[in-house]
Amino acid sequence: MKLAVAGTGYVGLVAGVCFAERGHLVTCVDVDEEKVARMRAGESPIYEVGLEELLKKNIAENRLFFTTDYERAYSDAEAIFIGVGTPEQPDGSANLSYIAAVCRQIAQSVTRDCLVVVKSTVPVGTNDKVEQYIKDNLVRDVTIRVASNPEFLAQSNAVHDMLHAARIIIGTDDEEAERQLLEIYAPFDLPVVSVSRRSAEMIKYACNNFLALKISFMNDMANLCELVGANIDDVAEGMRYDPRIGAKFLKAGVGYGGSCFPKDTKALTYLARQNGVTLKTVDAAVEINAAQRTRLFEKAKKRLMTFEDMKVAVLGLAFKPGTDDLREAPSLENVRLLLEHGANLVCYDPVAGENFHKKYPDVPLAKSVEEALEGAFCCFIFTEWDEFVRLSPEMFRRKMRVPLVYDGRNIFDPDNMKRGGVEYYSIGR
């Protein structure tokens, strides 16, 4: 089918590339000329495993196009997927102005009956508004149907998550829209859950909020484990075999970050408040996560008394491994606090250094773990990159002035570190 995708961020670009990979003719639209030029040349603007390869392949096979000319892209598309951002506003609500702008463009451009599919994460009821808005602004006599189709891509695994999704959620309020979406997804050959538009919108929030809740629950438990002499990783190991609980998202640490959980928890609690109720579980998850981020910093502050003029190594800046994304990364708040307390920071991340440098141009970036650790009095780990997991206690002992390690991702065996002469603190163990 002939598809257009609005927005080439994580959601839009990955969707566009994967639709092309499954045989559709796809035109991706973005307002950023420079970005469009790079993508046309086969360059992926984001770091995502396998994405650039598929981008190049589908451009070469004439199924994937990029443009800033929305009018041409939307005018004869059979379906238009909206994948633009819905960033958090100061009050926690989702900013829908990018969605509105795309709707306006669609209404002005379409020349044939068309299915508009909202892929962005949007508050319940937004699809209804999108439909009304487009219909109110249409300049031609065409039929527009609107459907919800939330995505569940996790960064660093996005292409795989789209091509081999656990399920496709289709939210429609009429049979023709449902039929069309089923046709678009037929080549993916994946399980489909077909529900109403409002339920589809809610499924997305329910999933992300539940996962955030799971992580915060484990962090809450971890803090108790420390007090009662239990080990949270062992506890998680014992929990994960229970299929009612599930094996994933049981890892305690310095808390969740990224572009979704922090934003979506706030958006859902906002929606609840607007409807006169409080989501106590989600509020608690948010509160626990905020406190969790600085737990190790607080511990280190007590142990060291001061960070003034002390060399402190930070290993890992990205909000999780496999991405250069720093959005809501727990490292950032710790960096800010350490700088405020006068530490001489040296940071290292295998991928996110460049993005970090844009935020903190004055903080030195090491080119390797060894360089970051050299002469440090203390080391913090905020991301569980593979190259850190492989480090031995000897490395910390040899390189650091004082082998004192605060591990926010529980990547080392505490006994092994102790035997290796490292003073080691982690979460819940």
Q: Which residues bind ligand UDX (CB under 6 A)?
A: 151-155, 208, 211, 215, 249-251, 253, 256-258, 260-261, 319-320
Closer by beta carbon to ligand UDX, 120 or else 180: 120
Q: How far is the CB of 214 from ligand UDX (least distance, A)?
A: 7
Alpha carbons 122 and 16: distance in angstroms, whole number: 19
Residue pair 99/87 in contact (Cβ under 8 Å)? The answer is: no
Closer by beta carbon to ligand UDX, 162 or else 379: 162
Helix (H) or strand (E) holding 15: helix 10-21
Q: How far is the CB of 351 from ligand UDX (least distance, A)?
A: 14
Residue pair 345/312 in contact (Cβ under 8 Å)? The answer is: yes
Calculate the CA 417 to chain-centre distance.
31
Closest CA to 192 of 157, 147, 227, 236: 147
Closer by beta carbon to ligand UDX, 16 or else 257: 257
Helix (H) or strand (E) holding 204: helix 197-228
Q: How far is the CB of 109 from ligand UDX (least distance, A)?
A: 29
Report the DSSP beta bridge partners of residue 318: none
Helix, strand, coil: what percent of the chain each, to 5? Answer: 45, 15, 40
Burial of 258-296, coded b for 16+ CB within 10 Å and e otherwise, reads: bbbbbbbbbbbbbbeeeeeeebeebeebbebbeebbbbb
Helix (H) or strand (E) holding 11: helix 10-21
Render 102-171 in DSSP notation, one character per residue: HHHHHHHH--S-EEEEE-S---TTHHHHHHHHHHHH--SS--EEEEE----PPTTSHHHHHHT-S-EEEE
The residue count of the chain comes to 429
Residue pair 364/347 in contact (Cβ under 8 Å)? The answer is: yes
Q: How far is the CB of 108 from ligand UDX (least distance, A)?
A: 31
Closer by beta carbon to ligand UDX, 94 or else 250: 250
Closer by beta carbon to ligand UDX, 31 or else 49: 49
Burial zone of 340 (CB within 10 Å; 0-12 exposed, 13-18 middle, 19+ buried):
exposed
Other Cβ atoms less than 10 A from the Cβ of 65: the count is: 20
Q: How far is the CB of 271 from ligand UDX (least distance, A)?
A: 17
Closer by beta carbon to ligand UDX, 88 or else 131: 88
Q: How far is the CB of 186 from ligand UDX (least distance, A)?
A: 23
Q: How far is the CB of 104 from ligand UDX (least distance, A)?
A: 26
Closer by beta carbon to ligand UDX, 153 or else 203: 153
**Active-site annotation, residues:** 260
